[in-house]
Amino acid sequence: MKAVKVSPVWTIPVVLALGLVSLQALAAAAQADLRKGTWELNLAKSTFSPGPPPRRQTLTFQAAGPQWTALLQGIDASGKPINPDMDDLAITFDGRDHPTPNVDYDTTTWKRSSANKYEIIRKKAGKIVLTATNEIATDGKTMTITTKGVNANGQPVHNISVYDKR
């Protein structure tokens, strides 16, 4: 068998290209990990229409492979606990409707649009009633969830919820 001589001129660009691809993959994974953890609602930076806003709210994200869970806790505008049973919401980024019973909607679709942004579509009886985006700032310290649509009472909804990482 004859040995093949590899020219160093060609190996340098190939090694650099492979290294760049690896760094990009690590950067994307790090961005996705920015969402993990607990986020505190910043009421001063948030707006709620029709309102009123909750008194306090935290949102905790955990990841297990392609599926995420979110736990929403806090105190609503009337002083009642939000999600006192500590039920997690399962999030699967597959673009399909998933049952999520709520007074305003009955299914939710999650679709990742970038490493630090995903889109949410909520339906009631098959009709889109709410859309939202969840986006992490590039510094990883702020998360903004913008929700638009109509609630179960037919009122227009336009909420901008700004969360700070704990």
**CATH number of the domain enclosing 118:** 2.40.128.20
Number of structural domains (the chain) is 1
Q: Is 159 left (phi over 0), alpha (psi -120 to 50) or beta?
A: beta
pLDDT in tens, 19-57: 444 344 444 444 457 889 999 999 999 999 999 999 999
pTM: 0.79
Q: Please check whether residue 12 lies inside any domain of the structure.
A: yes
Q: Please check whether residue 1 lies inside any domain of the structure.
A: no
Q: Of 143 and 64, which is predicted with more confidence? A: 143
Q: Please check whether residue 3 lies inside any domain of the structure.
A: no
Q: Of 15 and 78, which is predicted with more confidence? A: 78
Residues 6+ apart with CB under 8 A from 98: 90, 92, 107, 108, 109, 110
Question: Any long-range contacts for 59-66 (C-beta under 8 Å, 24+ apart)?
Answer: 59/143, 59/163, 61/35, 61/36, 61/37, 62/36, 62/88, 63/32, 63/33, 63/35, 63/36, 66/92, 66/93, 66/94
Q: Please check whether residue 75 lies inside any domain of the structure.
A: yes
pLDDT given for residue 21 in this prediction: 43
Q: Please check whether residue 35 lies inside any domain of the structure.
A: yes
Domain of residue 12: give its range.
Answer: 8-165
pLDDT in tens, 125-141: 999 999 999 999 999 99
Residue 164 carries which side chain, given as an amino acid letter?
D
Q: Please check whether residue 2 lies inside any domain of the structure.
A: no
